[in-house]
Structure 1
Amino acid sequence: MATTGTKSEGPVKRAIRNAGWLLAGKGAGGFFSLFYLALTARSLGAEQFGIFALILSYGQAVTNLAQFQSWQTVVRYGAMHEADAAPDKLRRIIVFAFLLDLGAALAGTLLSVAGVYLLGGQFGWSRPEQDLAALFCLSLLFGVRGAPTGVLRLFDRFDVAAYAETVLPATRMAGALIAWMSGASIAGYLAAWAVAELVTTGAMWWASVREIRKRFREPVMGPRVRGVVEENAGLWVFAWTTNLNTSLNLVWKQFPVLAVGWAVDAVAAGGFRIATQLVGALNKPTIALARAIYPEFAKLAVVDRAAINRTVLRACLIGALAGVIALIAVLLAGQSVLQLVGGEDYLFVFPVLLILSVAAVFDLSGVAIEPALVALGRPGTVLWVRGMVSIMFAAALAGAVLVYGSLGAAVATAGASLLLLILLYAAFRKQE
């Protein structure tokens, strides 16, 4: 097996380099997203775009529920097996992660379809719209790509992952253009998003299989999974805990859009979705840093746990600075961008966009804390903190959205982000 990383680089420098590769893929997504989001919003109109946004948020929420975040399992246990020069164990953990992805996709398919027909009426969806949502969920669930993502990050091939992930925004952009030129309805745009997910999954698997073949003489699917639990202490606990952490994380990303659609209307939900997308596009550089630094933490946890503390501090300072810059950008250009993306119909979203940008400052200020805790083998601590904050957030969101609408949802999101930052930081200090 080839070694991972460049030995002369420190973890932060290497993480920034890898984040640059991630940003090359996700930054392209953020850039393209402004175009295909504007194209979709202007083409469908406020009401139809709101329905599109609700279906999209529901599908992505179910996808997050189904995913096992198996890439974290591959990175954490794979780093140990690489350090021990145990290729057979490494191959088994990759196969285990693939089976997790497959099982989650199958189980999530049943859950999502049932949920559409049970809950679709709460969002005002007609029966044809419920059928569209169910089909869209099927395509997203079979687009899970945790195992190949973990392989590329473990082998320090963030450059290859960046090329593969560029397929997603490029395919979405092409699909949105085709839907726009053909005068497609919601179904056409949903089909464009679905095809993009499936094509990207294919690209990620192709790239990861290439890397696997470079490092193993035998096919990676050759070894039996039997014994993988015994040779990886705490494997199931880690897998389930990281999955639940991700499921709770969706509360911040998709649940507010669904809550606004339920309590207000589809137009308000569409506006909230646009604000969320814009904030997400601004924060992609720091989110890329968080994903790039986790493999470094996983390796440091094996050889130099003390270095994690210094790395967390530096990464969080970088995140906080990026958050402040993003907030200033929203203050200066937020209204112009909203008008460019959605037109006059969405200028009402500007106060929501400002508040969500404040929430992003809190999120980015703690960008390295959660990856560090997971790498140190404490995903249970993250789950406990996220679970407690999520319960409080859900209660606050339900009340705020009924009384203040979209603005209340944004304020509840910012408050939850601040509380999460405080509690995660306190939990990390206990590990020092």
Structure 2
Amino acid sequence: MSENRLSSWFSSEDSLVRVFRNSSWLFSAKGIGAILSIFYLAILTRTLGVAGFGEFMIIVGAVQVLSAVLKLQTWQAVVQFGVPYLLAGQHQAFRKLSAQSFWIELTGGLIACATLWLLLPYGATQFGWNEPVEQAVMGYGLIVFLAVRSTPTGILRAQDRFGGNAFGDAIIPVIRFTGALALFLTRPSMTGFLIVWGLSEFVSFMVMWLMVWRRQEQNQSLRSATSLPVPAPGRREFAAFLLFTNLAYLISVIRERLVVVIVGFFVGPAAAGLFRLADQIANSLNRLAEVFARPLFSELSRLFAIGQSRKSRALFWRSLRVSALSGGVLFLGLLLLGEQIISLISGPEYLAAFPLLLLLGAATIISLAGLGLEPLLQAAGRARNALLIRLVGLIALGLLMAFSLPRFGTIGAAWAMLISAILTSIILLASSRAVISKPRQPVRKLR
């Protein structure tokens, strides 16, 4: 009986089962990352101190924001336009799309390198970095910017090869943990941690491309629904989709990273350290959401590509129920165990982060409860709608922070994150219901 169930799990073509099956690969990577991140986060917080940890996170956050601004993420475009090619057996067209995405991502990375070189002296003066730290920041930035990881991620996901994708993602926390432990046993420093973080990005980049090169042909499960040729997307269509998905990604990075930089700038590195610790723990929940949301986007793209509007509608509502239930359980866990988690990871001096953890955790869980909303809009060709909604949420966050941060400090910033998350989720739900209530034929044009 168990063998039959296992066989049906791996062979089932039910949409939600496919999403969970692909999620299981990513969950293995994220699970490893979540466990190891607890250890290297403990090493970071305990060796650098509250202020030093805050300063480290300001550096990492600033580099990530600059990467999001200038280095385009291409994986969603590869999935959106590549899946129809694979379904039709047009492998040459898929390779051309992949090459185009590679050069787009690399060009953005080169621009980001030049921008960091120009801005770094100002940042060093503002935060008082010495020359070794300044050089480490530059080295870390170069690796992050030049590591073309989004394109191979898209190739693997379009081919339904989430196992290879998971392996490439798992490399990052493994190297960070190993490097942080080595530093802890020898001579921990901010420069050393930046080197380790950069090395983890570089090795992951190499592994991801190795996974792509090992097997050029698409996964057997994607061979074959139709032999009809798929027209290439127009330049404007491709550019518009790339623009909208990247702006939506930029907004999410700003919410996750730039807020920490702003808190550090206006309140101080120690406050930024407490805020980032709470945000880091809360974002571990967000990583779990990504485990489900990314395969969901790929599956919805596949269903829209073959015109299965009824199945896409059913998948959406089923995923919404699963994610809402999961969110409630996770928040209860934070409420009961949050203080113990903080104390265990970083020590009692970080317990002031507990109220922040509850607010930021609630904001993340609200987003988790509606994790299928944005992938639905993007897969349905409504990337512009998803972007506008995220933009409204970001504007609301900016206005709320402008009011609350000077008056209430870090707790005010956390409340601003929660309120903006609620507003964004409500608007996303309304827009997604409109898409579901009016099913479309295979979508190629952005609306």
**What TM-score, normalized by structure 1, do the two folds share?**
0.91
- Measure, in 1, the Cα distance between the counterparts of 2:434 and 2:275: 37
CA displacement at 1:404 relative to structure 2: 1.0
CA displacement at 1:127 relative to structure 2: 6.0
User: Which residue in 1 is equivalent to 2:269?
Assistant: 266
For 2:366, the aligned partner's letter is F
- Measure, in 2, the Cα distance between the counterparts of 1:344 and 1:170: 27
Candidates 41, 46, 56, aligned match of 1:42: 46
SS, match of residue 215 in structure 2 = helix
For 1:263, the aligned partner's letter is F
Matched, 1:241 2:244: yes
- Measure, in 2, the Cα distance between the counterparts of 1:111 and 1:10: 47
Change (3 A) 1:419 1:113: farther
User: Which residue in 2 is equivalent to 1:136?
Assistant: 140
User: Which residue in 1 is equivalent to 2:320?
Assistant: 316
Unaligned runs of 5+ in 1: 217-226
Q: How many residues align?
A: 417
SS, match of residue 421 in structure 1 = helix
- What CA deviation, in whole Å up to 9, does each residue of 1:304-339 have, x standing for no partner? 123222212211222222221111111111111111
For 2:246, the aligned partner's letter is N
Change (3 A) 1:48 1:19: same
- Measure, in 2, the Cα distance between the counterparts of 1:115 and 1:306: 51
CA displacement at 1:29 relative to structure 2: 0.6
Q: Is the 8 A contact 1:21 1:158 kept in 2?
A: yes
Q: Is the 8 A contact 2:263 2:410 kept in 1?
A: yes
Q: Is the 8 A contact 2:78 2:158 kept in 1?
A: yes
For 2:376, the aligned partner's letter is A
SS, match of residue 216 in structure 2 = helix
User: Which residue in 2 is equivalent to 1:117?
Assistant: 121
- Measure, in 2, the Cα distance between the counterparts of 1:209 and 1:215: 13
- What CA deviation, in whole Å up to 9, does each residue of 1:368-405 have, x standing for no partner? 11011111111111111111221221121133222111
Candidates 264, 274, 278, aligned match of 1:275: 278
Alignment of 1:9-408 (within 5 A): 9-123=13-127, 125=129, 129-212=133-216, 230=234, 234-303=237-306, 304-408=308-412
- Measure, in 1, the Cα distance between the counterparts of 2:123 and 2:397: 21
Shifted more, 43-52 versus 69-78: the winner is 43-52
- Measure, in 1, the Cα distance between the counterparts of 2:431 and 2:125: 41
Shifted more, 111-120 versus 334-343: the winner is 111-120
Change (3 A) 1:353 1:124: farther
Q: Is the 8 A contact 2:160 2:219 kept in 1?
A: no
Change (3 A) 1:6 1:84: farther
- What CA deviation, in whole Å up to 9, does each residue of 1:174-220 have, x standing for no partner? 1111111221310001111110010011001100111215779xxxx
- Measure, in 1, the Cα distance between the counterparts of 2:124 and 2:264: 11
Shifted more, 409-418 versus 276-285: the winner is 276-285
CA displacement at 1:133 relative to structure 2: 2.6
Matched, 1:410 2:414: yes
Q: Is the 8 A contact 1:53 1:273 kept in 2?
A: yes
SS, match of residue 187 in structure 2 = coil
RMSD between superposed Cα atoms in Å: 2.1
Q: Is the 8 A contact 2:76 2:154 kept in 1?
A: yes
- Measure, in 2, the Cα distance between the counterparts of 1:363 and 1:406: 21
Q: Is the 8 A contact 1:11 1:296 kept in 2?
A: yes
- Measure, in 1, the Cα distance between the counterparts of 2:218 and 2:359: 47
CA displacement at 1:413 relative to structure 2: 0.4
Candidates 400, 409, 419, aligned match of 2:423: 419
Unaligned runs of 5+ in 2: 1-8, 221-230, 438-447
- Measure, in 2, the Cα distance between the counterparts of 1:373 and 1:215: 26
- Measure, in 2, the Cα distance between the counterparts of 1:425 and 1:148: 31
User: Which residue in 1 is equivalent to 2:226?
Assistant: none
User: Which residue in 2 is equivalent to 1:220?
Assistant: none
SS, match of residue 85 in structure 1 = coil
Q: Is the 8 A contact 2:286 2:365 kept in 1?
A: no
Change (3 A) 1:75 1:179: same
SS, match of residue 166 in structure 1 = helix
